[in-house]
Amino acid sequence: MIMSHLNGFVQEASGQPMGHRERAVDCPCEESSLVKSPHNSAHMERIQHYQEELRRKREDESRGRLDIDPNASLRLKKLSQNPKVGIDNPTFEEKEKDAKEEPQHHVAELEELQQALKWARCCLTDAQSQQDVELVVQLLANADFKNAYSLYTAVSQQKSRVSPNSPLTVQAEDLCQEVQKILQSSQQKEGLELRALLTNPHVQALMQAHDSVAAQEMAEENVTQYLGETVKLVRLEKARDTPLGATVRNDMESVVVSRVVKGGAAESSGLLSEGDEILEINGISIRGKHINEVHDLLQQMHGTLTFLLIPSTQIKPAPHRQTVMHMRAYFDYNPSDDPFLPCRELGLSFQKGDILHVISQEDPSWWQAYRDGDEDNQPLAGLVPGKSFQQQRETMRKSITDRSREHQGKLWYAKKGKKQRKKSTSNVSKSTDYDDILTYEEMSLYHQPASRKRPIALIGPTNSGHDELRRRLLSIDPEKFAVAVPHTTRNSRIHERNGREYHFVSRAAFETDVASGKFIEFGEYEKNLYGTSTDSVRHVVNSGRICLLCLHTRSLQVLRSSNLKPFVIFVAPPSQERLRTLLASEGKTPKPEELKTVIEKAREMEQNFGHFFDATIVNVDPDQAFHELLRLINKLDTEPQWVPTSWLC
């Protein structure tokens, strides 16, 4: 309590905290409310002179300490490279010297404080304040208080010191002998003192006891010494058909564990860590071998594998439970075509639309994942590009492609004239946009409620058969299936009723709803506007029926951004010859160019919007396609489906 009030008083008088011991205790003139005295300048000069003398004295005492070259000894060099020790850490004799100097530092602090208080007393005008300061000065001069302050400071510093959790070496005695040999030719005072200290029988006995205890603790932790290095023995059981599940890399002559893969023996044991250097495997020296040799060696081994390792010096974060993320891939990936993949054998191939169960994102560039449905046949997790990494290289690829097209455009328009060339350049710059690069989307399982069916959106090019499939569903069960009542700006006819065939609205009201984003799709026909609103679809969903939609692909983004949770089915046309036969059975006689256009349009839709499709039906046979459509719709009632996690928030 006394120290607390004392520190507060000094901070108030000086304007500086006690922690800055090299800063003089001073009163900033611009903040002081003290009355000026003609003797203040003289007092200030005496105090500054005294503090300068103290600082010069400390510098002289610390100057000339003995510096030992760590390169003079191989063990000392290795020990200095240990991040737990470091050659810059205090040596034994430095700690002993600091222990002797600590009381002197404490006395100096109190003397500085006394001088500051005496100066502050001279600045005070009222007698009561001067008397209070005088009491504090007498307290600081008291011998019992000085001893208590020294004890308090020693205990506070001891609390801040952290002892190592494990021995740093079992060769302290040998290190002492090496230091003695280095100091044989030294005639400096510190060198002679250190040599006398190290040859003291008590110190030698202390080093011997230290090595004995350290060796015992390392043995309990399965840690030993190997060529001057702290190493550990690790034993793993590897079945003949079970992979070890770790990757290695060459670091100069060393073979280092680069990655521990989920699902392998290394990961389940928890004994191998990234950054561990492998010295031996079953007594076979590994240092100096290429990683391909290590791979071939481990392929031939099974049963108990004994690893001799130098543990990683990397600071390992606290273990935390890995959260599995389910991601839908929006691009195709072939590991054999990826030159950046760190381990091609562990690459996981997938196609657009596949669900990936990502179980580790510790490496942001390369996630570890399983492909949905392959967990039983895929013991080890595979490596897939991380989201940010994939976006970066897709951005770079698009940028290179666009620059190439721009360059080709300039060459082509150069023949047409300078004015047209500028127009081409402007168009290219406006079309460059990389903010919507699709890589992955987080997904969750969703089971639709019995009373709230998901809308079914049928997508396909003209003449693919998706309109015929919708009409067939409506005809077989009108109580189960329904369509959303569209909006229009045309006038109603005699047999039409508002809300049954159409919602008849004014053009101004229609355009207002369009601006508000209430329409999934809309268009103009014969100077009248037509459109399907989200409210119309929601009305069908709330009635417990399944809403059937035939939409253009550009409407999918609006539909997905609503809270309707649509199930999108792409109806793809068959081959050109089969498509001609199907259309002929309906009395249509399309030209070959028209058939080709249908197929090319379908390919374009799948290429640009395939990531929105939940299922695909190839309409080779109308009856077969209809039954497949019914199967997919009924499946929504019996099995949960993957939907974007954002839909469930």
**At 423, which CATH number?**
2.30.30.40
Which of the listed ranges 33-47, 167-181, 274-288, 511-525 does the model predict with the highest average pLDDT?
511-525
pLDDT of residue 66: 41
Structural domain harbouring 195: 173-220
Domain contains 168: no
End-to-end CA distance of the chain: 54
Output the pLDDT for position 9.
Answer: 32
395 and 515 belong to one structural domain: no
Same domain, 563 and 511: yes
Q: Which of 95, 97, 68, 90 is nearest to 191 (CA)?
A: 68
CATH of the domain at 286: 2.30.42.10
- In the predicted model, is pLDDT for residue 11 greater than 50? no
Together in a domain, 27 and 126: yes
Position 344 confidence tier, pLDDT thresholds 50, 70, 90: confident
Q: Which residue has the higher pLDDT, 376 or 272?
A: 272
State which of 67-81, 247-261, 299-313, 622-636 shows the largest mean pLDDT: 622-636
Out of 213-222, 323-332, 464-473, pick the least confident.
213-222
Mean of the per-residue pLDDT values of the chain: 77
Residue ending a domain, choose from 446, 464, 492:
446
What 3-state class would DSSP assign to 392?
helix
Q: Does pLDDT of 84 surpass 60? A: no
Ranking 72-81, 210-219, 438-447 by mean pLDDT, the lowest is: 72-81
Asked if 570 and 507 count as a contact pair (C-beta separation under 8 A), the reply is: no
Q: What are phi and psi of 521, to 5 degrees?
A: -150, 155
Segment 427-450 mean pLDDT = 71
Q: Residue 164 pLDDT > 70, yes or no?
A: no
Give the per-residue pLDDT at 425: 36
Higher pLDDT, 353 or 431: 353
User: How many Å apart are CA 261 and CA 362, to the nearest integer?
Assistant: 11
Which of residues 379 and 205 earns the better pLDDT score? 205
> Of 377, 356, 243, whose CA–CA distance to 305 is shortest?
243
- Give pLDDT, residue 103: 56
- The residue among 414, 446, 478 that closes a domain is 446
Looking at the structure, do residues 544 and 411 belong to the same domain, yes or no?
no
Q: What CATH number is associated with residue 592?
A: 3.40.50.300
Do 376 and 365 fall within a single domain? yes
Residues 205-226 have a mean pLDDT of 71
How far from chain centre, in Å, is Cα 454? 35
**Spatial separation of the C-alpha atoms in residues 273 and 257, rounded to whole Å:** 7
Q: In what order do the strands lie in the sheet with 366-371?
A: 382-385, 366-371, 355-360, 325-329, 440-446, 641-644
pLDDT of 252? 84
165 falls within a domain: no
- Which pLDDT score is estimated for 39? 41
Q: Which residue would you say has higher pLDDT here, 376 or 131?
A: 131
Q: For a pLDDT cut of 90, what percent of the chain falls above it?
A: 27
Which among 633, 569, 110 has a CA at the least distance from the CA of 353? Answer: 569
Lowest mean pLDDT among 83-87, 461-465, 539-543: 83-87
| Residue that is written with structure tokens 């601006």 in the block | 515
pLDDT grade for 48, boundaries at 50, 70 and 90 = low
Which of 51-60, 234-243, 334-343 reaches the highest mean pLDDT? 334-343
The per-residue pLDDT for range 221-272, each reduced to its tens digit, is 555 555 556 778 888 887 766 678 888 888 888 888 888 888 877 887 788 8
Q: Quick one: 491 and 601 in the same domain?
A: yes
Domain boundary among 392, 412, 446: 446
Crossing angle, helix 127-141 and helix 2-14, to 10 degrees? 120
Of residues 32, 45, 6, 16, the one with CA closest to residue 125? 32
Q: Is 326 a domain residue? A: no
Note the pLDDT of residue 546. 95
Residue entry with tokens 């400390």: 58
Q: Do 245 and 273 have their domain in common?
A: yes
Residue 323 lies in a domain: no
Distance between CA 502 and CA 496 in Å, rounded? 8
Of these ranges, 174-188, 209-223, 615-629, the one predicted with the greatest mean pLDDT is 615-629
pLDDT of 440 higher than 90: yes
pLDDT of 634 above 80: yes
Q: How many domains does the chain have?
A: 5
Backbone angles phi, psi at 302, to 5 degrees: -155, 170
Same domain as 366, residue 495:
no
Q: Residue 543: pLDDT above 60?
A: yes
CA 436 to chain centre: 21
Check pLDDT > 90 for residue 29.
no
Q: Are the CB atoms for 279 and 294 separated by under 8 Å?
A: no
Q: Is the pLDDT of residue 17 over 50?
A: no
Beta-bridged to residue 617, according to DSSP, are 571
Q: How confident is the model at residue 421 (pLDDT cuts 50, 70, 90)?
A: very low
What integer pLDDT is reported at residue 520 of this predicted model? 92
Is the dihedral angle over the CA atoms 417, 422, 425, 431 positive or is it negative? negative
Any domain includes 355 = no
Identify the DSSP state of 647: G
Q: What's the predicted TM-score (pTM) here?
A: 0.58
Residues 620 and 484 in one domain: yes
Residue 415 has pLDDT above 60, yes or no: no
For the stretch 589-607, pLDDT in tens is 888 898 999 999 999 999 8
For tokens 């100097």, name the residue: 101
**Does 167 map to a domain?**
no
Q: What is the mean pLDDT of residues 552-562?
A: 88
What string of DSSP letters covers 361-382?
A: -SSTTEEEEEETT-TTT--S-E
**Mean per-residue pLDDT, 404-431:** 50
Distance of alpha carbon 27 from alpha carbon 15, whole angstroms: 6
CB of 84 closer than 8 Å to CB of 314:
no
Q: Provide φ and ψ at 90, rounded to 5°.
A: -65, 135
Does residue 82 have a pLDDT over 90?
no
Cα dihedral 160/205/197/59 (nearest 10): -10
Q: How far is CA 117 from CA 32, 102, 140, 170, 328, in A?
A: 15, 23, 10, 52, 72
User: Closest Cα to residue 342, out of 246, 223, 414?
Assistant: 246
Report helix, strand or coil for 347.
Answer: strand
Do 341 and 276 share a structural domain?
A: no
pLDDT for the residue 241: 67
| pLDDT for position 228 | 53
Q: Which carries the bigger pLDDT value, residue 610 or residue 406?
A: 610
Share of the chain above pLDDT 70, in %: 72
Asked if pLDDT for residue 47 goes beyond 90, the answer is: no
Q: What is the mean pLDDT of residues 291-305?
A: 82
**Tokens 């020693």, residue located:** 154
pLDDT of the residue at 87: 37
Task: Collapse the DSSP code of 644 into the 3-class scheme (helix H, G, I; strand E, B; otherwise coil) and give the result.
Answer: strand
Say yes or no: 391 and 403 in one domain. yes
Instruction: Report DSSP state, residue 313.
Output: -
609 plus 484 within the same structural domain: yes
Does residue 565 belong to any structural domain of this protein? yes
